[in-house]
Structure 1
Amino acid sequence: MLSKNLYSLCLLLSTPYNNLESLSNNVVALNSYLQEEIYLKKLFDFRWRKKLNSSFENFHFDYSYDLVEEYSNLIKVKLNLKIFFTIKDSNALINSACVHEYIIILENLHNKYKIHLLIENEENPILYNYILSTSISLIDNSIFTKTQSIYFDKNSKIDSLYESFIRTVMKPNKKYIPRNDPVFNIDKACAYAETYALKPNPNYKSFDGIGGDCTNFISQILHAGGFNENSIWKPYTNTWVRVEDLYSYLTSQKLGIKLPDDTYLDKGVLIQFYTPSIGRYFHNGFITYKLQNNDYLYCCHSYNKLNYPLSEIYPHKYPKLRALKFS
């Protein structure tokens, strides 16, 4: 019964807003706040993609879960949801995928489950880790009584968010002078990023679940693109595995040029995302495609993503980013 409920939840989470009517026979029991939150998020995604003229299709999913804790009639579950889809760009179809990590608390009502808490790791990493590491009996009850959806606010600000996105991807700046660096091979770097986006290279240690693997993965991509290891930058030095340390290393060694005003994004560019709840740049991605609608696709680890649209997380999830170009 638990597996059936989680399947229904995954089906709901992976189904676009305009296809929700097809789920009439796959109903999952949610508290009123969660139900509103999920549907408002889907409405936002629908309106947002329409503004950007994004074309996504062929959605399907896979999932796995671990039972973390049982307390009285409450159950804590860790859920990994992998969503696959294709992106239509001109005449090309590009395979895309993302892995969502959730922590869930369900109530067992005579073998019928109702979901009271659903937290995504990337959406709220601090709360996610708090719920994951804290016994159900010790969790602050106030987190179960939220009344205001964050996506209600985002829906109301969709026009200003769109303007912010367009300024980032289209703003001209004549001061920027491209550099041709024969050391760095963008195609090899992108090929590595796509190959190991969803399944880590077994030749490297993975830090997923022990601090995050995003910078470790970016360093592997840069190495595959032609950057040589040295005594400062090699597995698994701070410059290899930490967001800020890698940025400082690349800029101080003049291996990467910071793009002015975060513009001129392109294939082969490193992007770093500012996480408000943590208060610093905390996540990396590597751009693998530029689309005709001025969107970009990137790969990353820890929130593993393959050719995932930048527009799906910026600026409504990450309000700021910075970028480094290598050639």
Structure 2
Amino acid sequence: MLMEIPYNREQVSEYAKTWALLRNRAFMNFDKMGGDCTNFASQCIYAGSRIMNYTPVFGWYYKGSNDRTPSWSGVEYLYNFLTTNKAAGPYAEQTDRNSVEVGDIVQLGNVENHFYHSPVIVDITPEDIFIAAHTYDAYMRPLSSYLYSTARFLHIVGVRKYE
């Protein structure tokens, strides 16, 4: 039976602050394999959820460089997992920029709606959203400083775990 547990946004923020400009050696660095942004986003989400979904292929987990799901490090796969997950682990809904919170994810895309970057939201002011990211490492970078054609915002609604 599944039970709801809260998503700890403070832990997400602390993890992002600690690791945005460094690499946690517990996780593979994907910089030379297409980018590390979604791997870092997943690490941050895990810091706030502490629950992985070990469903092969379509779940969301990282056990090692050769034992992980595509959703752990792939932009589209993370989106698909978070927005359709009905089992264990974090789940999200796509929202607008006015409805996000610290610990949520923004995915940046081009004019063809190909999404290629998954920064983590670490602060929000009336003027801007500030993010942490890997590949082009950033902490407290204004979202407005990025060049992109489209953005989608993923609000982490909560986390489920098996009792």
Class of the TM-score when normalised by the shorter of the 2 chains? 0.7 to 0.9
Could you give the per-residue CA deviations for residues 92-133 of structure 1, whole angstroms, max 9, x where no partner exists? xxxxxxxxxxxxxxxxxxxxxxxxxxxxxxxxxxxxxxxxxx
Q: TM-score, normalised by structure 1?
A: 0.41
Could you give the per-residue CA deviations for residues 291-327 of structure 1, whole angstroms, max 9, x where no partner exists? 2x431111011111111111111xxx11210011124
Classify the secondary structure of the residue corresponding to 1:244: helix
Is the 8 Å Cα contact of residues 113 and 150 (structure 2) preserved in structure 1? no
Shift of 1:282: 0.7
Q: Where does the alignment leave 5 or more consecutive residues of structure 2 unmatched?
A: 63-67, 158-163
More helix by share: 1
Higher relative contact order, structure no. (Cα contacts within 8 Å, ≥ 6 residues apart): 2
> Pairwise CA RMSD of aligned residues?
1.7
After the TM superposition, which segments of 4 or more aligned residues of structure 1 sit over 4 Å from their partners? none
Tell me, yes or no, if structure 1 residue 233 matches structure 2 residue 60.
Answer: yes
- 1-structure distance, mates of 2:138, 2:97: 21
Shift of 1:224: 0.5
Shift of 1:195: 0.7
- 1-structure distance, mates of 2:109, 2:98: 16
- 2-structure distance, mates of 1:241, 1:207: 8
- Correspondence 1:126-137 to 2 at 5 A: none
* Match of residue 282 from structure 1: 116
- When residues 258 and 227 of structure 1 are mapped into structure 2, their CA distance, relative to the original with a 3 A threshold, is farther
Which AA in structure 2 matches 1:264? S
Larger Rg: 1
Shift of 1:275: 2.9
* Match of residue 270 from structure 1: 105
- 2-structure distance, mates of 1:275, 1:304: 20
- 2-structure distance, mates of 1:266, 1:275: 24
Could you give the per-residue CA deviations for residues 16-46 of structure 1, whole angstroms, max 9, x where no partner exists? xxxxxxxxxxxxxxxxxxxxxxxxxxxxxxx
Q: Where does the alignment leave 5 or more consecutive residues of structure 1 unmatched?
A: 1-180
Percent identity of the aligned residues? 32
Which AA in structure 2 matches 1:273? L
